[in-house]
Amino acid sequence: GAGVSQSPSNKVTEKGKDVELRCDPISGHTALYWYRQSLGQGLEFLIYFQGNSAPDKSGLPSDRFSAERTGGSVSTLTIQRTQQEDSAVYLCASSLQAGATDTQYFGPGTRLTVL
């Protein structure tokens, strides 16, 4: 079946604008993760959804960042009033069920550039 998909693949925006990044997980996967990866750096955890439980937001860097997961499937990461330091690749991953397996399948990422 289809893997994790993300859109857009690239996004260029001006400082101060809001952006929305979308993630479609693998069908049937109950866990969904958002990460950020700056150039040459490892993955920085942002937020994690597991089923209908309250999301783990402990990695969100500021209150300008928020995420939703509607219907237990598609997720949207919103960054308000973007800053240049928000420029990075935003990766989404899903896994079958946290606890059953931790293998995460990653999407291709959205490269965000804030001018």
Partner 1 sequence: EDKVVQSPLSLVVHEGDTVTLNCSYEVTNFRSLLWYKQEKKAPTFLFMLTSSGIEKKSGRLSSILDKKELFSILNITATQTGDSAVYLCAYSTNAGKSTFGDGTTLTVKP
* Interface contacts to partner 1, rule CB under 8 A: 31, 33, 35, 41-45, 48, 50, 56, 58, 91, 93, 98-99, 101-109
CB of 25 to partner 1, least distance (A): 13
Q: Which is nearer to partner 1, 14 or 54 (CB)?
A: 54
Q: Per the structure block, which two tokens stand in for 77?
A: 């990461």
CB of 14 to partner 1, least distance (A): 25
Q: Which is nearer to partner 1, 16 or 34 (CB)?
A: 34
Q: What is the DSSP string of 66-103?
A: EEEEGGGS-EEEEE-S--GGG-EEEEEEEESBTTTB--
20, 84 contact by CB (below 8 A): no
Give the span between the Cα atoms of 94 and 87, in whole angstroms: 23
CB of 67 to partner 1, least distance (A): 15
CB of 9 to partner 1, least distance (A): 10
Q: Which is nearer to partner 1, 33 or 65 (CB)?
A: 33
